[in-house]
């Protein structure tokens, strides 16, 4: 997918039938599952109105359950659309990040740092640029700054993609262990 569908159409469809926005984004399995879950919850509420002599507490509980399913579907669409927007915006970013890595590998630490800071200015949640700034700080011997950058990278890494690497680097920058002497794990 090279771009997201029209936001107004996507959100309108998802407000009417939660899961429909995901279908428009090409996430058929998740969208259909969300729509079925929503329709089941709505049917549970409607059938409860027709064939139940429940008290008001049960009505509140049923309405709350349906409301939770509805809100969760909106939250899922928001999270997926945000992740896809960031992914689609990453294509030009990748070239700049590769330039930062190349500068780091050739010993141009200042150039690498300036590129990474520019990347963070564009997207403050950029995990890779944050990690790179941690490496740069560690390379320069500033262990306190390196620990701060690695701790921020751990905070930003929602998917857990960089967990092992972040933990290894934090252990390597432990004040009790000489930097670079810690064993991974």
Domain of residue 4: give its range: 1-89
Domain CATH for 185: 1.25.40.10
Q: What does the block give as tokens for 9?
A: 């159409």
- Decide: residue 42, CB within 10 A, 0-12 exposed, 13-18 middle, 19+ buried: middle
- Whole-model pTM: value is 0.50
Tell me if 94 is assigned to some domain: no
- Are 2 and 82 within one domain? yes
> Which of 60, 89, 118 is where one domain is finished?
89
Tell me if 75 is assigned to some domain: yes
- Are 168 and 135 within one domain? yes
Q: Which of 105, 119, 117 has its CA nearest to residue 145?
A: 117
In the predicted model, what is the mean pLDDT of residues 15-20?
A: 81
Q: What does the block give as tokens for 57?
A: 């507490």
pLDDT > 70? residue 140: yes
- Are 41 and 4 within one domain? yes
Mean pLDDT estimate for the chain: 81
Q: What does the block give as tokens for 43?
A: 């049917």
* pLDDT (tens digit per residue) in 79-129: 888 777 776 666 677 788 889 999 999 999 999 999 999 999 888 888 999
Range with lowest mean pLDDT among 56-65, 96-105, 135-144: 56-65
How many domains, in total, are found in the chain? 2
Q: What does the block give as tokens for 65?
A: 């359950």
Which residues, at least 6 apart from 138, have a Cβ–Cβ distance to it below 8 Å? Answer: 146, 169, 172, 173, 179
Highest mean pLDDT among 13-17, 101-105, 179-183: 101-105
Tell me, letter by letter, the H, E, C secondary structure of the chain. CCCCCCHHHHHHHHHHCCCHHHHHCCCHHHHHHHHHHHHHHHHHHHHHHHHCCCCHHHHHHHHHHHHHHHHHHHHHHHHHHHHHHHHHHHHHHHHHHHHHHHHHHCCCHHHHHHHHHHHHHHCCCCHHHHHHHHHHHHHHCCHHHHHHHHHHHHHHCCCCCCHHHHHHHHHHCCCCCCCCCCCCC
What is the reported pLDDT for 91?
Answer: 61
Given pLDDT bands bounded at 50, 70 and 90, which one contains residue 184? very low
Give percent of the chain with pLDDT exceeding 90: 23
What is the reported pLDDT for 131?
Answer: 94
């Amino acid at each position: 997918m090279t771009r997201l569908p029209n936001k107004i159409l996507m959100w309108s469809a998802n407000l009417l039938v939660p899961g429909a926005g995901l279908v428009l984004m090409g996430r058929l399995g998740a969208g259909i599952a969300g729509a079925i879950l929503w329709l089941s919850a709505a049917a549970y509420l409607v059938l409860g109105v027709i064939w139940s002599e429940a008290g008001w507490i049960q009505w509140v509980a049923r309405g709350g359950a349906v409301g939770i399913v509805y809100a969760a579907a909106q939250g899922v669409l928001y999270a997926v659309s945000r992740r896809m927007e960031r992914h689609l915006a990453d294509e030009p970013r990748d070239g700049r990040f590769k330039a930062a890595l190349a500068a780091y590998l050739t010993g141009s630490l200042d150039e690498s740092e300036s590129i990474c800071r520019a990347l963070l200015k564009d997207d403050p949640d950029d995990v890779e640029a944050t990690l790179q700034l941690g490496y740069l700080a560690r390379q320069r011997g500033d262990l306190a700054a390196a620990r701060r950058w690695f701790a921020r990278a751990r905070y930003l890494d929602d998917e857990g993609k960089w967990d092992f690497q972040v933990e290894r680097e934090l252990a390597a920058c432990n004040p009790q262990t000489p930097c670079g002497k810690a064993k991974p794990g």
